[in-house]
Chain A
Amino acid sequence: EPEVTQTPSHQVTQMGQEVILRCVPISNHLYFYWYRQILGQKVEFLVSFYNNEISEKSEIFDDQFSVERPDGSNFTLKIRSTKLEDSAMYFCASSGGQGRTQETQYFGPGTRLLVL
């Protein structure tokens, strides 16, 4: 069964540093998402991406965040200047085509980011 993969599984960084989290969505999917989950809290939507542009973003997704699909397979989340409160698990997800909630989103295993 195809699956979403994410790298790295864990990343530790210093406050103020830039990090790039990588995801390989399922190959024939067209919608891509990033979510984050702070330890012990619920999953929070960050951004969705379709046709090489952001289709939707939450209030959390401010100017320090950016997303990119640099090639035909990778989907990245960049945090420009990390803060302590960015420490969380970051999940990538993808869905087939229309991006509406009736589409099943397939989640990756996550990247655990720790900002010191």
Chain B
Amino acid sequence: LAKTTQPISMDSYEGQEVNITCSHNNIATNDYITWYQQFPSQGPRFIIQGYKTKVTNEVASLFIPADRKSSTLSLPRVSLSDTAVYYCLLRSSNDYKLSFGAGTTVTVRA
């Protein structure tokens, strides 16, 4: 399985930027890194995906360095409704298995 490391939790305030890093030393060469958001008692929901460098969509940005051993999800100007668990999903280069990171609980306060 991919060895991923994410911070367990992060606290923020409304309007701030939140950056969550997922470290993944053994990512499969040709596969993408995907980030999901999960609210309590719901299925994960796609946020953003990338392979290298920077990707931006209407809700987030994703920064991936050239060595691809980590990725950073950036949530600009968070609101209370962004309180959720955020997971990276990728495939290991060792066994080519899909695995989610342990998840980062982001709590946004007013």
Where the two chains meet, the residues of A that have a C-beta atom closer than 8 Å to any C-beta of B are 4, 42-45, 48, 56, 58, 89, 91, 93, 100-102, 104-110, 112
Contacts and interface: CB of A to CB of B under 8 A. Distances in A.
The SS class assigned to the A binding surface is loop
Contacts of A42: 87, 100-103
A104 B43 contact: no
Q: Which residue of A42, A100, A108 has the most chain B CB atoms within 10 A of its CB atom?
A: A42
A101 B83 CA distance: 25
A89 B38 CA distance: 13
A106 B46 contact: yes
Given A102-B31, A102-B32, A110-B41, 8 more contacts: A4-B43, A42-B100, A42-B102, A45-B98, A58-B97, A101-B90, A102-B51, A112-B41
Nearest to A100: B31
A17 B36 CA distance: 33
Nearest to A57: B97
Q: Which residue of B31, B36, B43, B98 has the most chain A CB atoms within 10 A of its CB atom?
A: B43
B32 A101 contact: yes
